[in-house]
Structure 1
Amino acid sequence: MSTEHTPATQHAGAAPPTLDLPGSRLEHFPAAFFAMVMGLAGLTIGWEKAQAVLGQPFPFVPWLIGAVTLLFAGLALLYAAKLALHPGAVQAELRHPVRINFMPTMAISLLLLAIVYLHTAPDASRWLWLAGTALQLGFTLFVVNAWMHHEHFKVQHMNPAWFIPAVGNVLVPVAGVPLGYELVSWFFFSIGILLWPVLLTIVFYRVLFHQPLPERLVPTLFILVAPPAVGFIAYVSLTGGVDVFARILYFSALFFTVLLATQATRFLRIRFYLSWWAYSFPLAAIAIASMLMAEQTGLPGFLYLGFGLLTMLSGIVVLLLVQTARAVRERGICLPE
């Protein structure tokens, strides 16, 4: 997802591990690129869930696991190089009123990889989860402190990307409970559920009573789906079943999905930005939540919905990769704001 204020071609792509990023381009490499990992990991987990629900292996799933792992490794190396060579640029992101909320995408990527490897490599999953959880706590404390003691935030800076720190917290139990960290998982789930309604109120105030979101940030509206959808998955992991609160979470996510679907023509008119990756992870979350709902209730309608959303997401991710590759080829990324 992009927060740059340059023309579309200047922030419409993402850098793969092999991209040559000399000097100044590396300096402007944003943490928001990890939204690509979130999208591809969400797709991978979705197909893993489909395998479990349908009882049928899909031969392309190992390829997805390898692809998301390589993507994360490449982006992590690039951002580590930025931290080593341009620490001031990293500090600038941490002080930026919009980009600060994309920093936790690195921790979320680790947590998602922990879920990806949960059943195939549990030892690797544990280490990924521990690293992601520690990093998520650090980012949450840092971001919330910045919110509380700000000197430069304005209501125009508010957008759905502010949900990202909250989403990371509710994601912790998904792998945390199976790995045996139930109390820690409840701690993080409580943080996310506390932040979600607060941020939701502020976001609606922003979109209802102030200027519309800039075009490049309109795709971030899809992030509205993620907190209740991921919250539902985490809550079921914690409690082992679907109760009243679980239903509220799921159907809240489903409502936001339907609401955004009615605005499809608006989204289709938007030029390609890196923020298009905001479509991917929330759709993966509601697809997985729907398949989980089918498991818990035995109602096939939820399974059809989940599988349909997952199939649509697969096509969207292919489109995003093609558009991103095109932007990389045109060298229109990692430029000064």
Structure 2
Amino acid sequence: MSNTASPQLRHYPVTLFAIGMGMLGLTLAIHAAELTYRTEAYYSAYALWVSVALLAAVTLGYLAKIIRHPDAVKAEWNHPVRIAFFPAISISLLLLSAALLTDHKAIAGPLWWIGMALQGVLALSVISAWIGHRSFAPVHVSPAWFIPAVGNVIVPLAGVPLGHAELSWLFFSAGVMFWIVLLTLVINRLMFHDPLPGRLVPTLVILIAPPSVAFIAWTRLSGGVDSFGHILLSLAYVFALIVLTQAPKFMRLPFALSWWALSFPIAALSTASFLYGQELQSQSHIVIGTVLLVLLLTIVGGLLMRTAIAVRRGEICQPE
């Protein structure tokens, strides 16, 4: 790699893995729509391969950073905000496993084991850093801190169909517990401390993700929609409405990689709505899922275009 590329590589951010999360979330949402409307899985297959290509590109770039600039990776790990994005790596693998489950089960199984093990290591490491002697302040807390917890509740999505119910219960339980703990901390920070800095405002959408994914995981684990499932999906809609009240703030912000935080939570809520609609034959939830999917396609299309422009202009891998 050239010397001119090396400084940009040093600032290659771990937050780029949010692209993998968003694209694979889109893939699963499209697949849920295809199942609901009983159509061939053409579009989800296209989305899957685009997602794999983008995730591979992001992964190769970060591996190069690990090799060339391990000190910069360590600095990201020690960053009070970016540390929460490291589990996006394992989450992407778990989502990829879930996306491959239908047609490529032989690949999905090993990927799930790798993603599950990496998620366990990263989640424990992040939590250990949070409760250790690191100097965190309330201003460092943001909805991005939900990412490690969300990773845990994603484990059952492919884990249950693959026959790993006990491990799925373990991760689901940990994810729900830390979601509740972190929700208290995040709401406290949002209400009683300084507003989120501009780059982190889009992470407010992450509030939608934990209950949405937890609903899907709970449905897998319990075998259907019950009262607790109703509560989880209802909470997801409540947080979606809360985030909607903050939408005008988003319109005034310049583009940053944090905008990719919009994609996965909306994908998760769309998928959850389709799943509820399938389970209980609820046309209203199918309509909600469809509207969210259209919104998601619009958002992801815009994000891909804006990210490509930022890459061409050299705006991505820059020091903050």
SS at match of 1:236: helix
Count of residues in Structure 1 that have an aligned counterpart in Structure 2: 318
State which drifts further: 56-65 or 102-111: 56-65
Per-residue CA deviations over 1:46-96 (Å, capped at 9, x if unaligned) read: 111111111112533222111101111111111111111111111111111
- Structure 2 residue aligned with 1:286, among 269, 280, 284? 269
Q: Look up the match of 2:120.
A: 137
Matching of residues 55-74 of structure 1 within 5 Å: 55-74=38-57
* In the alignment, structure 1 residue 243 sits paired with structure 2 residue 226: yes
User: When you count helix as a share of all residues, which structure comes out higher?
Assistant: 2
Partners of 2:69 and 2:253 in 1: CA distance: 33
Name the structure, 1 or 2, with higher relative contact order (CA <8 Å, separation 6+): 1
Partners of 2:199 and 2:34 in 1: CA distance: 35
Per-residue CA deviations over 1:286-313 (Å, capped at 9, x if unaligned) read: 0000011111211110001001101110
SS at match of 1:97: coil
> TM-score normalized by structure 2?
0.97
Partners of 1:175 and 1:301 in 2: CA distance: 27
Per-residue CA deviations over 1:216-241 (Å, capped at 9, x if unaligned) read: 10000000000000000000000011
State which drifts further: 284-293 or 145-154: 145-154
* In the alignment, structure 1 residue 107 sits paired with structure 2 residue 90: yes
* In the alignment, structure 1 residue 75 sits paired with structure 2 residue 58: yes
Q: Look up the match of 2:19.
A: 36
Contact kept? 2:30, 2:43, Cα under 8 Å: no
Q: Aligned letter for 1:60?
A: Y
Q: Look up the match of 2:240.
A: 257
Per-residue CA deviations over 1:161-181 (Å, capped at 9, x if unaligned) read: 000000000000000000010
Q: CA deviation at 1:135?
A: 0.4
RMSD over aligned Cα atoms: 1.2
Cα 1:60/1:242, change in 2 over 3 Å: closer
- Consecutive unaligned residues of structure 2, counting only runs of 5 or more, are none
Partners of 2:237 and 2:133 in 1: CA distance: 34
Q: Look up the match of 1:90.
A: 73
> TM-score normalized by structure 1?
0.92
- Structure 1 residue aligned with 2:132, among 149, 172, 175? 149
State which drifts further: 308-317 or 263-272: 263-272
Q: Aligned residues: percent identity?
A: 47
Q: Aligned letter for 1:101?
A: A
Q: Look up the match of 2:33.
A: 50
- Consecutive unaligned residues of structure 1, counting only runs of 5 or more, are 1-19
Q: Aligned letter for 2:270?
A: A
* In the alignment, structure 1 residue 128 sits paired with structure 2 residue 90: no
State which drifts further: 188-197 or 146-155: 146-155
Q: Look up the match of 2:255.
A: 272
Partners of 1:241 and 1:194 in 2: CA distance: 21
Partners of 2:134 and 2:100 in 1: CA distance: 41
Partners of 1:285 and 1:73 in 2: CA distance: 22
Q: Look up the match of 2:217.
A: 234
Per-residue CA deviations over 1:78-126 (Å, capped at 9, x if unaligned) read: 1111111111111111111111000110000000100110101001111
SS at match of 1:71: helix
